[in-house]
Amino acid sequence: MLKIKEINVRAVKVPMSEPHQTASAIISESPLVLTDVVLENGICGNSILFTYTPAVLKPCADLVSNIAPLLIGEQLAPLAISDMLSAKFRLLGTQGLVGMALAAIDMALWDALAKANDLPLVNQLGGKIKPMPAYGAIGFDGVNGSARTAERLVAQGFTGVKAKIGYSTLQQDIDVVESIQRVIGEDITLMVDYNQSLNPVEAMLRVEELHGYGLGWIEEPVLAHDFDSLARITSASAIPIQAGENWWGILDMQHAIDSEASDYMMPDVMKMGGVSGWMKAAAMAQAKSIPISNHLWPEVSIHLLCCAGTAHWLEYSDWWNPVLIEPLELIDGMAQPSDKPGSGIQWDESAIEKFQI
Name the residues that contact Mg ion, by CB under 5 A.
193, 219
Residue closest to 267 by CA, chosen among 140, 134, 280: 280
Minimum CB distance to Mg ion, residue 242 (Å): 8
Q: CA angle at residue 210 from 168 to 265, to 5 degrees?
A: 95
Query: In terms of CB distance, is 219 or 252 closer to Mg ion?
Result: 219
Minimum CB distance to Mg ion, residue 45 (Å): 28
Query: In terms of CB distance, is 188 or 296 closer to Mg ion?
Result: 296
Query: Could you report how far apart the first and last alpha carbons of the chain are, in Å?
Result: 36
Measured in whole angstroms, how far is the alpha carbon of residue 254 from the centre of its chain? 18
The whole-angstrom separation of Cα 315 and Cα 24 is: 19
The whole-angstrom separation of Cα 132 and Cα 343 is: 16
Minimum CB distance to Mg ion, residue 220 (Å): 6
Minimum CB distance to Mg ion, residue 193 (Å): 4
Residue nearest to Mg ion (CB): 193
Query: In terms of CB distance, is 49 or 243 closer to Mg ion?
Result: 243
- Clarify whether 88 is annotated catalytic: no
**DSSP tag of 243:** E
- Clarify whether 58 is annotated catalytic: no
The whole-angstrom separation of Cα 357 and Cα 355 is: 7
Based on C-alpha coordinates, what's the Rg of the chain?
Answer: 20
Contacts for 139 with CB less than 8 Å, ≥ 6 apart: 18, 19, 20, 21, 22, 145, 146, 149, 164
Query: In terms of CB distance, is 124 or 197 closer to Mg ion?
Result: 197
Annotated catalytic residue: which of 115, 164, 303, 312? 164
Minimum CB distance to Mg ion, residue 192 (Å): 10
Annotated catalytic residue: which of 280, 295, 303, 312? 295
Query: In terms of CB distance, is 244 or 337 closer to Mg ion?
Result: 244
Residues labelled as active-site residues:
164, 295
